[in-house]
Amino acid sequence: MEHVVHNTVFGFCWWDLPAFLILVAVAVLFIVRHHNLKKRERELEDQLSEIYTNETVDPQQDNA
């Protein structure tokens, strides 16, 4: 039991701090990547809608 008490401070192991820092870093990376992917998705949808609006078919040309 002395080993457990000796290696913990306020109920936390010394490995808890690096694990928490890694968790925070991974969470931040996830949020940034998710934001960038959503931004890229909106850009691609805008490009796709521009392509579709520029390539509309004129009904007069279809009958010719």
Sorted by where each begins, the domain ranges of the chain are 2-53
Cα 23 from Cα 28, distance rounded (Å): 9
- Has this prediction a pTM greater than 0.85? no
Cα-based angle 35, 36, 39 (whole degrees, multiple of 5): 90
DSSP labels, 9-46 = ETTEETTHHHHHHHHHHHHHHHHHHHHHHHHHHHHHHH
Task: Give the pLDDT confidence score for residue 54 in this predicted structure.
Answer: 81
The one-digit pLDDT tens for each residue of the chain (64 residues) are 566 566 666 677 888 889 999 999 999 999 999 999 999 999 999 999 998 888 766 556 655 5
